[in-house]
Amino acid sequence: MNFSDSVKDFIAAKQEASAQVQGYEKDLNIFWTFLETEKVSESTWRHVLGGANTDLIIKSLKYYVDHSKVTSMSTANRFISVFTEYFQYAYEKKHFSNKELYEEMHAPIYSDRSYRARINTWISKNLKDKESTRVFNEVEIQELIGLCNDTLKVESMDDEYFDKKFVPALIIKLIILTGIKYKLIPKLKLADVNLRYGTLTINNYEIHLPHMLIDQFELYSSLRNKRTESNILFIKSNGEQLAEITGFTATFLGSLTSRTDIQGIIRFVIIEMMKKGITIDIIKEFTGVGNTIINDCLQIINKDLHMERKIFLDSTLRALKTFKYL
């Protein structure tokens, strides 16, 4: 079997399952062009893909971005999604054997071997577009929470994991809960968290923590107390206070989502607060965000409300008794 036959089998299987395959063949043809630049031929492709690892796939992504003049994160993500689907199909159908890459694709997101984390990190560092300022949606937030929870399950870790994954995962969950401006996080004190009563105080507002987050803060507290006796809540592994720049948290977010903008999360939370009727004054006092973010969120809210009003008006007019006679 040659590479083109393998691709045809894959696309036929997708079509049989009623899946959308527009652009799949084009992306995989570009992947083949990349393989040719690596001196791969029809007689050697199975051997090469059988020994491929995440490094080679990132190299193919770089080729795709340069060859197609890609600037969009979503386009790069689509290319990777197409290749990943193809690889898993071809691997399961035994077109070639590559247990190493298959395991990297299924490694936990917090693992250094994680295929998805390494590719997301590359995309977040090399591509910037309108995706980087878009508000996260509910599905993305739920997935992000799950990935952070997986990261926070690790109880034994080295300093690098503590700094680059564990603390950032906890901070991201805290931002999803509160919408707090990142610059306020390094200023939080140990006394601001009351694990006995499961509460957190931010800017004189006391809120209750979800049960899982309480457990995660308890684990963090035990790890933190081995490293410092200071009164600062969030620290580096060396006991020092976190900087006010997003640093490792943004990088970790990029490894999870290919986006490094924490404001996309903050905007999601603030929009949800507004929808629940929390006043702008309270939101600003609690989260520390300024007018720019507030106004952006209000525009999104008003746009959604306008659409709902249009739908309501249209459905009401169609329900009038005279409608069927007109």
The whole-number pLDDT of residue 308 equals 66
> What value does the mean pLDDT of the chain take?
91
Separation CA 237–CA 252 (nearest Å): 16
- Tens of pLDDT, residues 217-269: 999 999 999 999 999 999 999 999 998 888 899 999 999 998 888 999 999 99
The whole-number pLDDT of residue 68 equals 92
- Tens of pLDDT, residues 271-288: 999 989 999 999 999 999
CATH class belonging to 134-293: mainly alpha
Token output for 228: 């410092």
Among residues 44, 52, 34, which one has the least CA distance to residue 103?
A: 52
The whole-number pLDDT of residue 305 equals 67
Indicate the pLDDT class of residue 132, thresholds 50, 70 and 90: low
Looking at the predicted structure, is the pLDDT value of residue 325 above 80? no
What percent of the chain is modeled with pLDDT above 90?
75
179 DSSP assignment? -
- Tens of pLDDT, residues 153-211: 988 899 999 999 999 999 999 999 999 999 999 999 999 999 999 999 999 999 999 99
Average pLDDT of span 19-42: 91
Looking at the predicted structure, is the pLDDT value of residue 111 above 70? yes
The whole-number pLDDT of residue 324 equals 76
Indicate the pLDDT class of residue 65, thresholds 50, 70 and 90: very high
Asked if residues 82 and 56 have their Cβ atoms less than 8 Å apart, the reply is no
CA distances from 186 to 52, 225, 240, 269 (A): 42, 16, 10, 20
According to DSSP H, which parts of the chain are helical? 3-16, 24-37, 45-50, 54-67, 73-92, 99-105, 115-126, 138-151, 159-161, 167-178, 211-225, 247-257, 263-275, 280-287, 291-319
